[in-house]
Amino acid sequence: MLSDAACRSAKPAEKPYKLADGGGLYLFITPAGGKLWRADYRHNGKRRTASFGSYPAVSLATARKAREDLKGQLSAQVDPAQVKRSERRARQALAANNFEKIAREWFAAKAQSWLPRYGQRVMDRLEADVFPPLGRLPITEIEPPDVLEALRKVEARGALEIAKRDMQMIGQIFRFAIASGRAKRDPTQDLRGALKSPKRVEHRRALPHGDLPGFLRALEAYDGEPMTKHALKLMVLTFVRTGELRAARWAEFEGLDGPEPLWRIPAARMKMRFEHLVPIAPQVVAVLQDLRPLAGRNPHLFPSPGKEGFMSNNTMLFAMYRMGYHGRATVHGFRGMASTWLNEAGYNPDWIERQLAHDERNEVRGAYNSAQYLAGRRQMMRDWADFLDRAVAAA
């Protein structure tokens, strides 16, 4: 029988040779110095050789245990070669279903409905936060502590909200794997309450209603860039999202000379990827008519020589700073101000939510609701514009 000392001291020779341990097990010494554990056996009358790895990575004791397992399989009339092939296929299947592979499949399926810049943010978070600790692991072997350890690293850099979003994203990937039969459960379900709570978010400040007349008068007196002034007017009148206004195109406006003008914002430019219809009040048409000569033949309402080709993200905000509203209000806050007034005035909450283009969780309902309540919303938007006119007159 062999000893560890004999295994360690074995030297290569000109030709390969064997150091027998008994029971068919031996250490095969190659001319290059390799030391390989092998065992000869017979199955169904045929001579075969099993490999157990190399020494010292596989110790003498481990090799002997493998030999005994081999004997047990032969006694049970099981083909050791078939067992090894099955184990190899199982390992390959696990490797093929690692977390990163399935996550990229999930991303490809979802990204078609996302704005490109949002999809890029999702992939950036996967590659930075999730793939390094979890990507190579078979998805069936990932347990709640594995996910929590990955998220703790995100928390450690102070990104508590990102950690929360990462967990939601990981959960979506697991549910995708469950639906395709490659996972049995979602480990993030066991992590509810385990993450640190982010600090309370301070929402973008809305202008108090009492300050609205003064703001509108200040806007009328604004002596900065005229295009910026018109953008702020449209922002107050339509209360769309800032990005939806900045990138607006003339081709999106319909019937400006008719009784029911409309702004049709395509799904590709909307946060939730649904087309959004904005009924236009006469006051909005008047602003657009004033703006048209300033834009010239450019397809955008607010052309700019910058990279995007239209007004930058901070242009309107800096204009509000110049008007004396630094820290008092934000451009986005006009959405909240309009929502508050409309709700207090008793308008149908469904009209208001649709006009704000809030999230539609159901795709079919969201597509249908792009036009739903249009008649009621049209009157509501005219009433809002008339209220703003009265506010200016009151000031």
Is 241 part of the annotated catalytic residue set?
yes
Given CA atoms 252, 206, 283, 290 in this order, what sign does their dihedral have?
A: negative
Contact, 39 vs 70, CB < 8 A?
A: yes
Contact, 286 vs 237, CB < 8 A?
A: no
Is 365 part of the annotated catalytic residue set?
no
Is 358 part of the annotated catalytic residue set?
yes
Candidate list 67, 233, 241, 378, residue with the active-site label: 241
C-alpha 218/C-alpha 235 separation (Å) is: 15
DSSP class of residue 130? Answer: I
pTM of the model: 0.52
Candidate list 64, 233, 246, 332, residue with the active-site label: 332
Q: What is the pLDDT along the chain (395 residues), one digit of tens a residue?
A: 889 899 999 999 999 999 998 888 999 999 999 999 998 888 777 888 888 889 999 999 999 998 888 888 877 777 777 777 766 665 655 566 889 999 999 999 998 888 787 888 899 999 999 999 999 898 988 999 999 999 999 998 888 888 999 999 999 999 999 998 888 999 999 998 899 886 654 445 667 777 888 899 999 999 999 999 999 999 999 999 999 999 999 999 999 999 999 999 998 888 767 789 999 999 999 999 999 999 999 999 999 988 889 999 899 999 999 998 887 888 888 888 899 899 889 998 888 988 998 755 444 444 555 667 899 999 999 999 999 999 888 76
Q: What is the CATH code of the structural domain delimited by 4-87?
A: 3.30.160.390
Nearest CA among 63, 79, 76 for reference residue 23: 63
Beta strands of 140-228 (E only): which ranges?
A: none
Please state the domain extents for the chain: 4-87, 99-191, 209-394
Candidate list 209, 358, 365, 390, residue with the active-site label: 358
pLDDT of residue 247: 93
At residue 324, φ and ψ (nearest 5 deg) are: 95, 20
Candidate list 205, 271, 300, 382, residue with the active-site label: 271
Is 43 part of the annotated catalytic residue set?
no
Q: Please state whether 276 falls in left (phi above 0), alpha (psi between -120 and 50) or beta.
A: beta
Query: Collapsing DSSP states into helix, strand and coil, what is residue 42?
Result: strand
* Same fold across 99-191 and 209-394: no
Q: Pairing between strand 25-29 and 35-43?
A: antiparallel
Candidate list 335, 354, 377, 378, residue with the active-site label: 335
Q: What is the CATH code of the structural domain delimited by 209-394?
A: 1.10.443.10
The Cα angle at residue 238 between residues 277 and 359, in degrees rounded to 5: 55
Is 368 part of the annotated catalytic residue set?
yes
Is 230 part of the annotated catalytic residue set?
no
Candidate list 48, 136, 368, 390, residue with the active-site label: 368
Q: Which CATH number fits domain 99-191: 1.20.1250.20, 1.10.3720.10, 1.10.10.10, 1.10.150.130?
A: 1.10.150.130
